[in-house]
């Protein structure tokens, strides 16, 4: 499939690698139970004021591959907005756009190139922050929906990308059409299993389904056409050869379409069950023989006496889908044995409810209307003009409830009025969870609106009880490297240590400095990492300074300004020298 092309693409494909790494400067901490203690830190919840591209880069050392759910609401690029593309991409094609407000003209196609240049590097960094089993959800309108879908297919290879339509208003007339909807673009793993929606669930039912697959027959899937032998107590005794196995062994030489299910050649005391439809027509089983046997032994197959008179089977065979099995294994579902017979291992799920498992692709509830979000922010902040077009709290809450669990980390890098944090706090209050949020907002209202909303939600507003909680507020600080490539020593040694350890291990440095071994960063996977660094003078790794290695490891990596130790000696002692700052990796 050809990739999407636009003016300036060649200069932004790797732009996320060129974005300077900035440290995060802690401005204050907030706790709902102690509003005066702004020195508080370590809540796990973050609100960051600054450009979201640089903020995402700054999050990598601690959060790469750790975010379970990302929700973003980027500019829709309708032509009526005043957003500015302000990334420092040094190329004439893009420079002409810098600082320019997107035009309103219907035929101003350059604004789409501009929007793509803005989104591409941000999505690349979001991809790095996302857990392997994590999901991204993006709100968008029709103006950039097509471009966004192609971007996601190019960046998130191996993921499934699904568009859901959300009714967000009663109608906005334009050029003879009434626009009532926007979209949610879901980027999820292929084997994505969402949480069930309590609102969409039906009353208790069985999680088991019939194992016959009516859409195929023995010609199409001969390895799934086989007999199952069951005794009078409902015990699965054995499985016969599949049609494919009979053909391979030379026991059947006819045309597969002429193969007849044999109900006569059955061992004494047993009944045979063949895959047939509810009308008695031949089909195939959903599981191959080996999988069926394994699932039976694990308790995931159920044998039930036949109630239909349309076929010869005296029993029906039922199975649990993979999604149900995964949730049983994870401990999410509580199970019990269905029979006292030790030969029947079948289990069932307590209080299982049907429906509500799949995410619908059409969201029409009026609680998702943008006007609902406007009334909510007015109630919270007491000012109807505080923020225009905020997303409905119910929409974000429902998205997060389907994609996140109690202990997950959730990120919103276009935070706006802070709806995502509000949704996280509500969900935690509802189920006792400890989800954490990271918000990034570049506008000056990051504290006065975004953080203020979170404060009021935690403390309570109008007639709504507070959720409790805490957060830390950050600004983007200085870059770690100066323009000439040297270390910016004003950021502090601790920040430099964290960065070096992360670039080597992709792990966050949690070990504190010890006076007895102050140059050790930490030992990871058998390797000891050392930063022999002094901001006041040049450091030389010499034979006399081998003593800085104070913790036994299989190998050692030592950073210093210079090294006078013979290379053969270093090799003999399993020591790798890296020069500061030349060999500090930039990401």
pLDDT per residue as tens digits for the range 310-349:
778 999 999 998 988 988 998 888 899 999 999 999 999 8
Region of 201 on the Ramachandran plot (φ > 0 left; ψ -120 to 50 alpha; else beta)? beta
For 384-416, the pLDDT digits (tens) are 788 888 999 999 999 999 999 999 999 999 999
**Residue 365 counted as domain residue:** yes
117 within some domain? yes
Last residue of a domain, one of 431, 453, 476: 476
Residue 556 contacts residue 587 (beta carbons within 8 Å)? no
1-5, 130-134, 505-509: lowest mean pLDDT where? 1-5
Question: Do residues 328 and 289 share a domain?
Answer: yes
Q: Is residue 98 part of a domain?
A: yes
186 and 244, same domain (yes or no): no
107 and 195 housed in the same domain: yes
Domain identity same for 345 and 362 = no
Q: What is the pLDDT confidence band of residue 91, given thresholds at 50, 70 and 90?
A: very low
Is residue 3 domain-resident?
no
Q: Are 26 and 161 contained in the same domain?
A: yes
* pLDDT at 84 exceeding the cut of 70: no
Contact present, 61 and 125 (Cβ < 8 Å): no
Whether residue 204 is contained in a domain is answered as no
Residues 435 and 460 in one domain: yes
With cut-offs at 50, 70 and 90, classify the pLDDT of residue 88: low
The answer as to whether 504 is a domain residue is yes
**Span of 35-49, 310-324, 521-535 with lowest mean pLDDT:** 35-49
The pLDDT score that the predictor gives to residue 117 is: 87
Range with top average pLDDT, 1-10, 41-50, 123-132, 186-195: 123-132
Cβ proximity of 359 and 201 under 8 Å: no
Residue 430 pLDDT greater than 60, yes or no? yes
CA dist., res. 554 & res. 465, Å (int): 55
Residues 451 and 544 in one domain: no
Domain housing 563: 489-579
Domain-ending residue, one of 349, 369, 403: 349
pLDDT digits (tens, 9 = 90+) for 235-288: 999 999 999 999 999 999 999 999 999 999 899 999 999 999 888 889 999 999
* Domain-embedded: residue 511: yes
- φ, ψ for residue 48, nearest 5 deg: -115, 125
Shared-domain flag, residues 188 and 106: yes
pLDDT for position 483: 86
Alpha-carbon distance 194 to 184, whole Å?
A: 15
Same domain for 472 and 497, yes or no, is no
Do 408 and 458 lie in a common domain? yes
Together in a domain, 268 and 176: no
Quote the pLDDT of residue 354: 64
Please tell me whether residues 183 and 286 are part of one structural domain: no
Quick one: pLDDT band at residue 204, thresholds 50, 70, 90? low
**Per-residue pLDDT at 139 exceeds 90:** yes
- In the structure, what pLDDT confidence band is assigned to residue 97 with cuts at 50, 70 and 90? very low
Beta bridge pairs of residue 212: 285
Burial class of 221 by CB neighbour count within 10 A (0 to 12, 13 to 18, 19+): buried
Considering only CA atoms, which of 324, 252, 240 is closest in space to residue 289?
A: 240
Question: Which DSSP category does 385 fall into?
Answer: T
Which CATH number characterizes residue 146's domain? Answer: 3.40.50.150
Q: Domain ends where: 320, 349, 378?
A: 349
Across the chain, what does the average pLDDT equal? 89
Number of structural domains, the chain?
Answer: 3
Q: Note the pLDDT of residue 413.
A: 97
Which residues 6+ apart lie within 8 Å of 261 measured at CB? 225, 227, 274, 276, 282
Q: Taking residues 27-47, what's their average pLDDT?
A: 82
pLDDT class of 103 with cuts at 50, 70, 90 = very low
Handedness of CA 123, 188, 165, 431 (dihedral sign): negative
Distance of CA 188 to the CA centre of its chain: 7
Is 481 within a domain?
no
Mean pLDDT within 534-552? 93
Q: Which of 306-315, 481-490, 520-529 has the highest mean pLDDT?
A: 520-529
CA distance to 120, 236, 252, 338, per residue, from 343 (Å): 57, 9, 33, 11
Task: Dig out the tokens for 366 from the structure.
Answer: 């009026």
DSSP, collapsed to helix, strand or coil, labels residue 324 as helix
Both structure tokens of 253: 């030489």
pTM of the model: 0.74
Instruction: Report the run of H or E that residue 59 belongs to, with start and end.
Output: helix 52-63
Q: What is the DSSP letter of 546?
A: G
The pLDDT score that the predictor gives to residue 280 is 83
What pLDDT score does 289 carry?
Answer: 95
């Amino acid at each position: 499939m050809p990739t999407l092309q636009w003016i300036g693409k060649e200069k932004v494909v790797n732009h996320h690698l060129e974005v300077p790494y900035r440290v995060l400067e802690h401005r204050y901490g907030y706790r709902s139970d102690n509003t005066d203690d702004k020195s508080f830190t370590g809540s796990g919840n973050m609100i960051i004021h600054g450009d979201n591209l640089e903020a995402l880069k700054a999050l990598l050392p601690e959060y790469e591959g750790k975010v379970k759910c990302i929700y973003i609401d980027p500019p829709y690029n309708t032509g009526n907005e005043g957003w500015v593309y302000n990334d420092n991409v040094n190329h004439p094609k893009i420079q002409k756009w810098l600082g320019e407000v997107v035009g309103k003209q219907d035929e101003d196609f350059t604004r789409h190139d501009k929007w793509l240049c803005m989104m591409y590097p941000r999505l690349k960094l979001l991809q790095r922050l996302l857990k392997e089993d994590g999901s991204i959800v993006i709100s968008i309108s029709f103006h950039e929906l097509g471009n966004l879908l192609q971007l996601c297919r190019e960046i998130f290879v191996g993921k499934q990308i699904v568009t859901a339509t959300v009714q967000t208003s009663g109608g906005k007339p334009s050029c003879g059409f009434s626009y009532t909807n926007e979209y949610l673009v879901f980027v999820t793993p292929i084997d994505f299993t969402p949480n069930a929606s309590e609102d969409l669930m039906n009353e208790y039912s069985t999680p088991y389904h019939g194992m016959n697959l009516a859409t195929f027959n023995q010609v199409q899937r001969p390895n799934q056409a086989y007999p199952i032998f069951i005794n009078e107590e409902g015990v699965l005794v054995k499985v016969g050869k599949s049609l494919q196995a009979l053909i391979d062994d030379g026991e059947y030489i006819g045309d597969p379409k002429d193969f007849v299910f044999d109900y006569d050649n059955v061992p004494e005391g047993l009944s045979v069950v063949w895959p047939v439809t509810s009308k008695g027509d031949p089909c195939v089983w959903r599981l191959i023989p080996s999988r069926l046997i394994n699932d039976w032994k694990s308790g995931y197959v159920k044998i039930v006496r036949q109630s239909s008179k349309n076929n010869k089977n005296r029993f029906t065979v039922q199975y649990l889908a993979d999604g149900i099995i995964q949730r049983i294994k994870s401990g999410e579902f509580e199970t019990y044995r269905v029979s006292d017979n030790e030969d029947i291992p079948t289990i069932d799920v307590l209080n299982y409810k049907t429906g509500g498992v799949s995410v619908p692709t059409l969201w029409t509830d009026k609680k998702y209307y943008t006007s609902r979000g406007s009334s909510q922010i007015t109630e919270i902040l007491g000012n109807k003009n505080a923020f225009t077009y905020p997303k409905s709290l119910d929409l974000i809450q429902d998205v997060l409830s389907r994609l996140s669990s109690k202990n997950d980390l959730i990120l919103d890098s276009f935070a706006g009025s802070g709806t995502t944090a509000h949704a996280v706090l509500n969900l935690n209050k509802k189920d006792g969870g400890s989800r954490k949020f990271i918000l990034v907002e570049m506008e000056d209202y990051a504290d006065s609106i975004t953080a203020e909303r979170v404060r009021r939600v935690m403390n309570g507003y109008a007639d709504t009880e507070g959720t409790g909680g805490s957060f830390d507020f950050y600004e983007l600080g200085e870059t770690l490297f100066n323009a000439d490539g040297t270390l910016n020593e004003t950021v502090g040694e601790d920040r430099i240590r964290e960065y070096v350890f992360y670039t080597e291990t992709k792990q966050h440095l949690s070990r504190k400095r010890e006076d007895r071994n102050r140059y050790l960063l930490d030992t990871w996977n058998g390797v000891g990492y050392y930063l022999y660094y002094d901001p006041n003078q040049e450091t030389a790794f010499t034979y006399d300074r081998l003593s800085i290695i104070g913790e036994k490891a299989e190998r050692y990596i030592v950073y210093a300004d210079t090294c006078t130790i013979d290379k053969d000696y270093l090799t003999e002692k399993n020591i790798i020298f890296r020069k500061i700052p030349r060999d500090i990796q930039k990401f």
